[in-house]
Amino acid sequence: MIRRATTLAARRIRSNCAAGAVLSTRSQYQAPSERRDGLPELLIGSARCYLSADAASRASPWADCPRAPPDPIIGLTEAYLKDDFPNKVNVGVGAYRDDEGKPFVLPVVREAEKDIISEELDHEYSGIAGSPNFVNLALKFAYGEDSVPLKENRVAGVQTLSGTGGLRVMGEMLRHALGHKEIYIPDPSWGNHTPIFKNSGLEVKKYSYYNNETSSLDFEQMIQDIRAIPEGSCILLHVCAHNPTGMDPDMEQWKEISQVVMERKLLPFFDCAYQGFASGDARKDAQSLRLFVNDGHKVALVQSFSKNMGLYGQRVGALSVVAESPEESERVVSQLKVRIRPNYSNPPRHGARIVERILSNEQKTNEFVEQCEGMAKRITQMRSKLKQTLEELGSTTDWSHITKQTGMFAYSGLSKEQVTALREKHHIYCTLDGRISMAGVTSKNVAYIANAIHDVTEGECI
């Protein structure tokens, strides 16, 4: 017990050692070499420190736990909340806000919640794969009611902890069930993709996607890079509203991507976080996925209902795989369940019930489509207004990419230095890569934001 306490005490040497020795790494201390009056002795460099049993017993087992760097998005919000400037603006967080800058709950979601609560349902566990009804409705929403693989019962699907949970489950599936060592993601991509896949045991590699100089899709280089990906590898693709750039391939480009992916025998893994939210039309937003399925790819797909239904905190998502046969589909589901069980055991029920209630009722589905379209239209209007205001201020920068992009984010093209100036001078908070959440832009603050951007890019504030 004394030896164990001594080891723990070494980690608190700054507070316990009268000799004042500084401990910077765990390797600097040695085990007790001798005893004086029954007290353990530690050697710290050339200094000796004698610890009482009482001091050793008070040492924290977490003393050597390093402070992790703050999450870039959460840290941004924390800095924003501490700012007491009255006109501060947060355009960093990817969550929809109404034109008053307030969180928005879809009316159809409120109605579905009331119906569910009135039925006084139980709170028993879901199965490992979640609600079968939810999964079926989610797959029809993405693949389409007339999807051939769905009709042939060869799409394996499970409910997940939103898109993030589905990405992690698929990452583990790739590494441990299929033997993949790498995954290829676009450059840039959502900031959480890399740590999710690394923590799944995969090496993350990138293919070209966006040209920062021209603020446009770097399609030719993208195709060249995909052609160079080793056969059989997994490639991550964004279904629509690419995060962070908001720049998607057009359908002719998607057809070429599909052809090259087929030639290289790659496994296409689609991340679908914005279906219906990008354009306001769920079918249009799913065109890339449905093209690949119609072309015969055995795709994997992760879905999130955070954005399009505003169910951020409910963590509602699905993960699916198009298989060759119903029997193969069953085997895939069994492997997905093996990954889920030791991870989070089973998914939550309330959010899935909301989605079920909406997508299983034609009237509620129509209401959802209309309300989702309303969110998409407001963001589109703010894109146009921001671009227009910058031009009216006399900006010599070409801001056309703001309106060419789609979805929640505008990849502004601002440098890190300009983003920092935007924050320090004007109290406007966006990520260091210049990504602006257009949901945080309102009719009341768009002029202020445009003035600030004009100031940090042109050196003028009007």
Residues 12 and 99 in one domain: no
Q: What is the CATH number of the domain that holds 92?
A: 3.90.1150.10
Which one of 360, 392, 418 terminates a domain?
Answer: 360
Residue 298 in domain: yes
Residue 368 in domain: no
| Owning domain of residue 52 | 2-57
- Section 69-93 average pLDDT: 87
Give me the half-sphere count of Cα atoms (radius 13 Å) on the Cβ side of residue 190. Answer: 25
What b-and-e string marks burial along 211-235, b requiring 16 or more CB atoms within 10 Å of the CB?
A: beeebebbbeebbebbeebeeebbb
> What's the token pair of residue 445?
């603050």
What pLDDT, on the 0 to 100 scale, is given for residue 78? 86
What b-and-e string marks burial along 238-276, b requiring 16 or more CB atoms within 10 Å of the CB?
A: bbbbbbbbbbbbeeeebeebbebbeebebbbbbbbbbbb
Listing DSSP states for 78-117 in one string gives HHHHH---TT-EE--S-S-B-TTS-B---HHHHHHHHHHH
Total domains present in the chain? 3
Residue 280 in domain: yes
Residues 386 and 342 in one domain: no
DSSP state of 29: B
> What's the token pair of residue 207?
């293919």
Residues 98 and 190 in one domain: no
Give me the half-sphere count of Cα atoms (radius 13 Å) on the Cβ side of residue 48. Answer: 9
- Name the active-site residue from 225, 271, 285, 455: 271
pLDDT at 26 over 70: no
Note the Cα 188 to chain centre separation in Å: 13
What pLDDT, on the 0 to 100 scale, is given for residue 56? 56
What pLDDT, on the 0 to 100 scale, is given for residue 37? 47
How, if at all, do strands 39-44 and 47-50 pair?
A: antiparallel
pLDDT at 393 over 70: yes
Helix or strand or coil: residue 284? helix
Judge contact between 258 and 291, C-beta under 8 A. yes
Which one of 360, 394, 415 terminates a domain?
Answer: 360
Tell me the per-residue pLDDT of 173-210, one tens digit each, with 9 for 90 and over.
Answer: 999 999 999 999 999 999 999 999 999 999 999 999 99
Q: What is the CATH number of the domain that holds 258?
A: 3.40.640.10
User: In which band, very low, low, confident or very high, does the pLDDT at 53 lie, cut at 50, 70 and 90?
Assistant: low
Active-site residue flag, 271: yes
Residues 264 and 293 in one domain: yes
Residues 192 and 233 in one domain: yes
Residue 65 in domain: no
Euclidean distance between CA atoms 406 and 307, whole angstroms: 14
- Name the active-site residue from 190, 248, 254, 399: 190
Active-site residue flag, 102: no
CB atoms under 10 Å from CB of 374, counted, come to 13
In the chain, the percentage of residues whose pLDDT exceeds 70 is 87
Residues 187 and 83 in one domain: no
* Phi, psi values for residue 185, rounded to 5°: -120, 155
- Name the active-site residue from 225, 248, 254, 307: 307
Residue 49 in domain: yes
Active-site residue flag, 254: no
Residue 278 in domain: yes
What b-and-e string marks burial along 411-424, b requiring 16 or more CB atoms within 10 Å of the CB?
A: bbbbeeebbebbbe
User: In which band, very low, low, confident or very high, does the pLDDT at 44 lie, cut at 50, 70 and 90?
Assistant: very low
Euclidean distance between CA atoms 172 and 168, whole angstroms: 6
Residues 309 and 172 in one domain: yes
Query: Which amino acid would we find at residue 397?
Result: T
Residues 234 and 192 in one domain: yes
Which one of 301, 335, 360 terminates a domain?
Answer: 360
Residues 276 and 330 in one domain: yes
Greater confidence, 41 or 160?
160
pLDDT at 10 over 90: no
Residue found by looking up tokens 């999710």 in the block: 196
What pLDDT, on the 0 to 100 scale, is given for residue 75? 79
Q: In sequence order, which residues have a C-beta less than 8 Å from that of residue 85 and are 6 or more positions away?
A: 427
- Section 274-283 average pLDDT: 92
Residue 365 in domain: no
Residue 63 in domain: no
CA distances to 146, 401, 438, 440 from 410, rounded to whole Å, are 34, 8, 6, 11
